Chain A
Amino acid sequence: MKRRKGTSQSLMTRAGGELDDRFKLAGPTRVLMNKVFPDHWSFLLGEIALFSFILLLLTGTFLALFFDPSMTHVTYEGSYVPLQGVGMSKAYESALNISFEVRGGLIMRQMHHWATLLFMASILVHMMRVFFTGAFRAPRETNWMIGILLFWLGFFEGFIGYSLPDDGLSGTGLRIAEGMTESLPFLGPWVSAALFGGSFPGDEVIARFYIIHVFLLPLALLALITVHIGLVFAQKHTQWPGPGRTEHNVVGYRMFPNYVMKQVGFMLFVFGVVAAMSGLFQINPIWLFGPYEASVVSSGSQPDFYVMFMDGLIRLFPAWEFRVPPYFTLPGVFWPGIVGMGLSVLLPLAYPLLERRFTKDRAHHNLLQRPRDTPARTGLGVMVIVFWLIGVISGGNDVFAQAFHISLNAMTWAGRIGMVVLPVIAYYLTYRICLGLQQHDREVLAHGLETGILMRDPDGRFYEVHQPLAEPDEHGHTELEYGGATVPKKMNRLGVLEPADRGFFKSIEETEDEGARKGGRRDEIEAGK
């Protein structure tokens, strides 16, 4: 055994030498393998999007082997009985065939759709993490903007993607998109005619969407994702404040083996979740919707969740149409559909610059902020989330109205009023909660944390014993400065009250010195988090 191991090692060394002779890899390899990454669960949210994207490329390639983006009229003669003899486009027929005639095609279609939903959802959550912790501040404004562009590219990639099967539901979505396009002042009819090759729906749009969906947008996404990750790498990741962590260092673990192993494990985990979901939970059952017909729609027609916000805005916007008869009409949908979407792109893009302007903070920041320490920004973020949520809920207001027996018109009015009022209330409440949390942190730092132990003085007075976090002065106060890091609020955060037993089904016995070492380590680690 020993001899063989020696041989293989020297073989590795030799191979490494040969490679280095040619590519000069020794230096870069070392730097790469030893790069230090900070560790926090919230830093992995963006990775979910990356892994979903990889999955989308893989499953999408499979689907492209069987999908036919053609609007040629055919009569369905496949094995799905309810649609036999129905006229439809070739695109819809081939999407049905992927679901019914291709072995494993259905699970691939569902994986592609679930991965899309996960992609968009994880981008949103990742964006919230970056926003609320101030990770977008200098020097990372560029990466924030790339992230916003990635969201919107994903938005259109997703919308165009689910339009491709040319089913009843997606065709209706396309019709709405066409109505929005027409609303553009002066250009509308021309843009619409260019997009659809004449009048809606025409017979070119699916082929055009296909090349955009499988080539142009994926290429743009791939390029921007590469730059996005490259910048994280080059600028080094932000980190939470804590002992030993400064603006000028990174505290964490090495890229190899720790970080890479966790990443690979996490990637496989995301893949596994999507695969299991796609086998067990149905998504976008296009065979139930039938082919697209301009005259057919049903209630409960909802777009995918990331588009629902736009749909909700369009539902809620009042019937305001600007007309100068007979020369000019500005359709109402222009405001939520075109202006609303435009602002949803531009305002987030500009946010780092706006904040820079208002706070006059031009310094570089590598330490993250806790949301409570920036009440105005946190309030603003929650305000946007509430606004967005009302849009999403209104995008499904017919479903809510039906499920909860509410009047549909009441839902619409609640959305209209809520959209104006609730974000303001949310801002105020968030602001106050942030101040309260800050206040409590400072209180604990000054007086120590509550132990839950009640004591009685000789004179009969009851009081609770506080555990100071440092040596107190004669009044029992400690002069600890608030550093923007987590303040322990419970005694077991200080290392008291270790769990009595370890192990899942049965306890794991530990050797004595190991237990002692564990206890010792705990202090060190907990203090930094």
Chain B
Amino acid sequence: MSAHNDDRRPDEVDLSDPKLSRFDVYREGLRRDGIEIIHYEPRYAKPGTKVEKRMERIVASLFLGSGLFATLFVVAYIWWPWKYDGAATWRDPQTWYTPILGITLGLSLLLIALAVLTWAKKLLPVEELVQERHDGGSSRDDRRFAESTVDTVVDDMGLKRRPFLVKAALLGAAPLGLAAVAPLGGLIKDPGDMLTVTGWNAEKHNGGEPVRLMLKDGALVRPEMVATAGQITVFPAIEGGASNEFASAPTLLIRLRATDAEILRENLYPMYQDVEAMWGDFVAYSKICTHVGCPASLYEQQTQRLLCPCHQSQFNVIDNAAPIFGPATRHLPMLPLGVDEEGYFYAKSDFLVPPGPAFWNRPSLPEEDEQ
């Protein structure tokens, strides 16, 4: 931002004139910045009228009020009981701690804001000025100077005369740029089987022993723990099986009514028929939605639907949990169920197709694609 006071005009005020008032000097300063006063007068024609005094009093009391509430804020912050200690009603003072802080701080800020704004709108002079706008680039001279400066620099360095040097510099600098970002490679990790193998995989997570089903608290699951038409969330009974470490393992174990189970058995995809994925009237579906991975956990018994509350994909429980509404395109994979000699549920194998959201090289079985 340069003060362009070198373009002296002939009508320029002589600043050495002793008769100049402060305002004359001020206006000359404005003029040299291309600013002209269109309108400028005190807000109140006569200083010290009743109206003006009243306005001053209002602004002053706003400032003082702000200070008062700021003090109250500090006092409340320090001395008002604030410690949370269990459920409380509105009669307990600590319930009011945050509202009181908000009200006092808010009012303090609002009052000082109003004070400043009122001062600006009601006490400052009424003014309208117009300033020249120097739009559209520099003067022709400036452009020529700049151009010649750049050209001189380019010439000094010989950028045009020494093309080989320029190429060499680029060839040298490009790998250096690459080297600067290369350490980010530390972030790169082979996804490996993270999207295809879950906590139900016996070989990987349980030393080859079939993985049993457990509740969140670690209790193993037996058939009689689920009432007819009831459902529970189960996890692989391995170390940390219910934790976020195995985020694609949560499974919904549903005990169907006998008639519904019959329908599902008829509908069962061949791949699930082959492994006898159902056990009695029990069926287990991956809880992770095949759309983008929220838990599809709302079970509507009447219509036998599973609903994902994130994007409302709906799956038909008595038809392989195939999607029937919403953005999901693939069924919720079924966990092949069995009951061991001790009477506990176990997974006969991992999911036959990867659970959760799809990715470009997601393996799928031909049966699935036919659906």
Also in contact, A276 and B133, with CB within 8 A (given A258-B120, A258-B127, A508-B51): no
| Residues of chain A contacted by B121 (CB below 8 angstroms) | 262
Contact of A103 among B77, B107, B247 (CB under 8 A): B77
A521 within 8 A of B: yes
Contact A269 B110 (CB under 8 A): yes
The winner among B242, B327, B329 for most chain A CB atoms within 10 A is B327
Q: Is A315 in contact with B113, judged by CB distance below 8 angstroms?
A: no
Residues of chain B within 8 A (CB-CB) of A192 are 191
Q: Are A179 and B326 in contact (CB under 8 A)?
A: no
- Among A209-217, A317-325, A475-483, which stretch is in contact with chain B? A317-325
A331 CB within 8 Å of chain B: yes
Taking a contact as CB atoms under 8 Å apart, the answer to whether A251 and B110 are in contact is no
Closest Cβ of chain A to B333, distance in Å, is: 15
Q: Which of A139, A276, A397, A398 counts the most chain B CB atoms within 10 A?
A: A276
Complex A-B: 7 CB contacts under 8 Å:
A184-B360, A268-B110, A273-B110, A276-B106, A297-B310, A337-B292, A513-B45
Interface residues of A (CB under 8 A from B): 27-28, 30-32, 34-36, 73, 79-81, 87, 100-101, 103-104, 106-107, 110, 139, 172, 175-176, 178-180, 182-186, 188-190, 192-195, 197-201, 234-236, 244, 247-254, 257-258, 261-262, 264-269, 271-273, 275-280, 292-301, 311, 314-321, 323, 325-333, 337, 364, 366, 397-398, 408-409, 412, 508-511, 513-514, 517, 521, 524, 528
The yes or no answer to B57 lying at the interface (CB within 8 A) is no
Q: Are B45 and A517 in contact (CB under 8 A)?
A: yes
The 6 A-B pairs at the shortest CB distance, nearest first, are namely A279-B102, A276-B106, A179-B292, A272-B109, A295-B250, A27-B3
Contacts A265-B113, A265-B116, A266-B117 given; indicate if A297 touches B98 (C-beta within 8 A): no
CA A364 to CA B134, docked complex, whole Å: 12
Given the complex, which residues of B lie within 8 Å of A297, measured CB to CB?
A: 294-295, 297, 309-310
Q: A275-B102, A295-B287 are in contact. Are A315 and B109 (CB under 8 A)?
A: no
Q: Are B102 and A258 in contact (CB under 8 A)?
A: no
Residues from chain A with Cβ under 8 Å of B99 in the complex: 279-280
Q: Assuming the A-B contacts A193-B194, A319-B327, are A294 and B295 also in contact, with contact meaning beta carbons closer than 8 angstroms in the complex?
A: yes
B181 at the A interface (CB under 8 A)? no
CB of B363 closer than 8 Å to a CB of A: yes
CB distance from A267 to the nearest CB of B (A): 8
Q: Is B67 an interface residue (CB 8 A)?
A: no
Residues of B within 8 A of A (CB): 1-3, 5, 29-30, 33, 35, 38-39, 44-46, 49-51, 54, 77, 82-87, 98-103, 105-117, 119-121, 124, 126-133, 135-136, 187-191, 194-195, 216, 233, 235, 242-244, 246-248, 250, 287-288, 291-295, 297-298, 309-313, 323, 325-330, 356-364, 366, 369
Which residues of A lie under 8 Å from residue B46 when comparing CB positions?
A: 511, 513-514
Residues of A contacting B30 with CB < 8 Å?
34
- Closest Cβ of chain B to A482, distance in Å, is 23
A107-B101, A321-B329 as given contacts; A178 in contact with B293, CB under 8 Å:
yes
The distance in angstroms between the C-alpha atoms of A87 and B216, with both chains bound, is 12
Q: How far is the CB of A224 from chain B (nearest CB, A)?
A: 21
Cross-interface CB contact of B130 among A251, A323, A509, cutoff 8 Å = A251
Look across to chain A and name the residue whose beta carbon is closest to the beta carbon of B49: A511
What A residues does B131 contact at CB under 8 A? 35-36, 236, 249-250
Kindly state the separation between the CA atoms of A111 and B1 in the bound complex, as whole angstroms: 37
Decide: B127 and A186 in contact? CB cutoff 8 A: no
How many residue pairs, one in A and one in B, have C-beta atoms under 8 Å apart? 324
Contact B195 A189 (CB under 8 A): yes
Q: Are A175 and B327 in contact (CB under 8 A)?
A: no
B252 and chain A: residue at smallest CB distance:
A295
Whether B360 pairs with A186 at a CB distance below 8 angstroms is yes
Chain B residue at minimal CB-CB distance from A250: B131
Given A175-B292, A294-B246, 5 more A-B residue pairs with CB atoms under 8 Å apart are A195-B187, A200-B247, A265-B113, A276-B105, A297-B309
A330 vs B51: C-alpha distance in the bound complex, in angstroms? 73
Contact of B1 among A32, A176, A327 (CB under 8 A): A32
A79 touches B312 (CB 8 A): no
A272/B107 in contact, CB under 8 A: yes
CB-CB < 8 A to A277: which residues of B? 102, 106
For the complex, what is the distance from the CA of A292 to the CA of B244, rounded to whole Å? 8
**Complex-state Cα separation, A183 to B216, whole angstroms:** 30
Q: With A31-B3, A321-B358 given, is the CB distance from A254 to B310 under 8 Å? A: no
Evaluate whether A182 and B357 lie within 8 angstroms (CB atoms) in the complex, with A199-B194, A247-B135, A295-B235 already known: yes
Are A329 and B126 touching (Cβ within 8 A)? no
Q: Decide: B38 and A251 in contact? CB cutoff 8 A.
A: yes
Contact A272 to B135, CB < 8 A, known contacts A30-B29, A182-B357, A292-B244 = no
Complex interface: chain A residues within 8 A of B313 (CB): 319
Is B360 touching A188 in the complex (CB atoms < 8 A)? yes
A293 touches B5 (CB 8 A): no
Choose among B5, B33, B244, B247 the residue with the greatest number of A CB atoms under 10 Å from its CB: B244
Q: Say yes or no: B124 contacts A258, CB within 8 Å.
A: yes
- Return B139 CB to nearest CB of chain A, in Å: 15
- Inter-chain CA distance A250–B130, complex, in Å, is 5
**Do the beta carbons of A34 and B29 come within 8 Å of each other?**
yes
Chain A residue nearest to B121 in the complex (CB): A262
Query: Inside 8 A of B103's CB, which chain A residues have their CB?
Result: 276, 279-280
Contact between chains at A366 and B329 (CB < 8 Å): no
Bound-state Cα–Cα, A450 to B107, Å: 45
Would you give the shortest CB distance from A344 to chain B, in whole angstroms? 18
Decide if B188 touches A190 in the complex (CB within 8 Å): yes
Distance A178 CA – B136 CA, assembled complex (angstroms):
47
Tell whether, in the assembled complex, residue B3 and residue A265 are in contact, meaning their CB atoms are under 8 Å apart. Answer: no
Chain A residues whose C-beta falls within 8 Å of the C-beta of B195 in the assembled complex: 182, 189, 199
- Asked if B359 and A188 make an inter-chain contact with CB atoms under 8 angstroms apart, the answer reads yes
Contact with B126, one of A101, A278, A320, A521 (Cβ below 8 angstroms): A521
Q: Which residue of the partner chain B has the closest CB to A201? A: B244
What chain A residues lie within 8 Å of B132 (beta carbons)? Answer: 248-249
* Bound-complex Cα distance A509 to B54 (A): 11
In Å, the complex CA distance between A247 and B134 comes to 10
Q: Which of these, A200, A329, A409, contacts B361 with CB under 8 Å?
A: A329
Interchain CA distance A317-B103 in the complex, whole Å: 44
List A contacts of B356 (CB < 8 A).
179
Q: Which residue of A lies closest to B366 (CB)?
A: A325
Give Cα distance in the complex from A139 to B188, angstroms.
43
Q: How many angstroms between the C-alpha atoms of A279 and B95 in the bound complex?
A: 11
**Given that A266-B117, A317-B327 are contacting pairs, would A333 and B291 also be in contact in the complex, using a CB cutoff of 8 Å?**
yes
CB A465 to nearest CB in B, in angstroms, measures: 33
Whole-angstrom distance between the alpha carbons of A398 and B170 in the complex?
A: 56
Closest to B54 in A: A508
B116 close to A261 (CB less than 8 A):
yes
- Tell me the complex Cα distance, A27–B5, Å: 9
Q: Which residues of A contact B130 (CB under 8 A)?
A: 36, 244, 249-251
Q: Take A269-B117, A294-B244 as given contacts and tell me if A104 and B101 are in contact as well, using a CB distance cutoff of 8 Å.
A: yes
- Docked CA distance A253–B33 (Å): 14
Q: Which of A180, A249, A315, A329 makes the CB contact (< 8 A) with B364?
A: A329
Q: Quick check: A198 and B194 within 8 Å, CB to CB?
A: yes
